[in-house]
Amino acid sequence: MCGWRSPPAHNGVQLWLHLSFAIWFNAWWFSWISHRTASGKAWQITKDLLVILLADVLEALTGIRPANAAIEIPAAEIDSRQAVPGCLFVALPGEHHDGHDFVAEAFESGARVALVKRDLRGQFNTIDLRQTPSQEELEKKLSELDGSFCLLVDEPLTALQEAARFWRKKLPVEVIGITGSVGKSTTKEVVAEVLSQRYVTLKNKGNLNNEIGLPLTMLSLTEQHERAVLEMGFYIPGEINFLCDLASPHIGVVTNIGTVHASRAGSQEDIARGKAELVEALPEDGHAILNYDDLLVRAMASNTKAHVFFYGMDSSIDLWADNVESLGLEGIRFLLHYRQQVNRPAEVLQLRVPLIGRHSVQTALRAAAVGLVDGLTWQEIVSGLRSASTELSLMAVRTENGALILDDTYNASPESMLAALNLLHDLEGRRVAVLGDMLELGQYERHGHQMVGIRAAEVVDELITLGERAKIIAEAALDAGLPAEKITILESAEQVIQYLQPNLNSGDIVLVKGSNLMRMDRIVSALEYPV
């Protein structure tokens, strides 16, 4: 017989112990589920969650906090197509379009407020903030509004940045800033995965890493977030310094110094000075995580007052790796060494992680370093590394006839091209490389393409180039010994597609890579077998 039965009688001590345990357990459970992330690790409590309010935006822009502006702003957007109910739409002028022309579309999608510099009072309810109103005037105007409205400011971008700076200062979140020439986005993703094993973690979406994207990301912060992993891009001196002023990072990671964007930034030394602005901005109790294998990054140790933590392949530093083995598209395996104190034996772990290519060991080291200085256990760090996506920057897709395409079309620099060719070298099959122009290399343009051509000659069975600059790759590969009949120079993506379609066979491995503006993703889309 089964069913509900009365519990046995308890004496006073037993009852007290049961009640005490119940109270403790309920408190612990509520704390735990409130603490964990929403990324699949556990549940989260969102009741009474502190998110940015219209009152915060107005206080940031005017110094006045209206009593009747307790309206939640769930997100900030610059693209009216991405507008969500209640969001803040920021009308920015673009190269081809002006955001002011899409305010109506944003409001139709549910945006509550728009930051504008064009006077649209004839079309929409508007509060003019160009001259600071009194609190009474501001509250009166707000009380008269119904539905969506505009805030008229001198510069919407500046207003967005001021709102982000104000909001960041209100929150106790610790920020991890990441910069470098190559590997920023992948590092951001893996660092966030590691930190999310313990902390509720926010990260930039995509490559929102500049003076527009970073404040958009920061306005997504809530009181619940404990860590924010923010990629910081660089084009001109002072840019990263400005981003650090907005975000106030406590930990800074520098990946490497390459030649990408040299056409705008200048020499590698100029690029290094720009990237060093991150470590210069760190506080004394912060941590600068630096690539010891890159001499220009290593030298940044003298640019910071924060604690310096070196990672790389040298056994004299804090965290290093050796015995790195490529497992092809399955990831990499390596030994990880961590020395907590000088003259003390290092801890050693053998790891297998789903990051593709030998160069990815550097990404794993960076993420582990952040976890270590932030107090995570090895169990948490390893769990995060093993959870990292294998499709962070490179995707493997099949063609209809069974060839494998390595889609690495997001962007290209000499350093990332060489890393991709090294991965191709580690895979078995007929190796074909479709390589396009690398842009914005400035004075390093010819040398960078030549380096790629020399390595291609050592790796590929067939080389196809696309673009005027990529002809240098073909020339260098020919000079390095790749037979002329194995080199094809083409002028358009359509020509590449027409050439490849009848010439690919099962077992072939095709690397497709070039700068974003080359639109080499069209090649992958045309060849990929539809699922």
pLDDT at residue 95, rounded to an integer: 81
Q: Where are the domains of the chain?
A: 54-160, 171-387, 395-527
pLDDT at residue 49, rounded to an integer: 61
Rg over CA atoms, the chain: 27
Q: Do domains 171-387 and 395-527 have the same CATH topology?
A: no
pTM value is 0.81
User: 3.40.50.300, 3.40.50.1980, 3.30.1330.10, 3.90.190.20: which CATH number matches 395-527?
Assistant: 3.90.190.20
Class of domain 54-160: alpha beta
pLDDT at residue 105, rounded to an integer: 97
d(CA 453, CA 437): 12
Q: Nearest 10 degrees: CA dihedral of 392, 394, 399, 403?
A: -130
Which run of H or of E encompasses 397? strand 395-398
pLDDT at residue 329, rounded to an integer: 86
Cβ neighbours of 401 (radius 10 Å)? 14
Q: Are 159 and 151 in contact (CB under 8 A)?
A: yes
Name the 3-class secondary structure at 103. helix
Cβ-in-10-Å burial (0-12, 13-18, 19+) of 228 comes to buried
- For each of the chain's 531 residues, which pLDDT tens digit applies? 333 333 344 444 444 444 444 444 444 444 444 444 333 343 233 445 688 999 999 999 999 999 999 999 999 999 999 999 999 999 999 888 999 999 999 999 999 999 999 999 889 999 999 999 999 999 999 999 989 999 999 999 999 999 999 999 999 999 999 999 988 989 999 999 999 999 999 999 877 899 999 999 999 999 999 999 999 998 888 999 999 999 999 999 999 998 766 666 668 898 999 999 999 999 999 999 999 999 999 999 999 999 999 999 999 999 999 999 999 888 999 999 998 876 677 889 999 999 988 999 999 999 999 999 999 999 999 999 999 875 556 788 899 888 999 999 988 899 999 999 999 999 999 999 999 999 989 888 999 999 999 999 999 999 999 999 999 999 999 999 999 999 999 999 999 999 999 999 999 999 999 998 899 999 999 998 764
pLDDT at residue 528, rounded to an integer: 86
- In degrees rounded to 5, what are phi and psi of residue 348? -130, 130
pLDDT at residue 345, rounded to an integer: 77
- In degrees rounded to 5, what are phi and psi of residue 230? -120, 115
- Domain 171-387, CATH 3.90.1150.10 — does that match? no
Sign of CA dihedral 220, 223, 227, 233: positive
DSSP codes joined into one string, 263-319: HHH-SHHHHHHHHTHHHHTS-TTSEEEEETTSHHHHGGGGG-SSEEEEEES-TTSSE
Q: Are 244 and 190 in contact (CB under 8 A)?
A: no
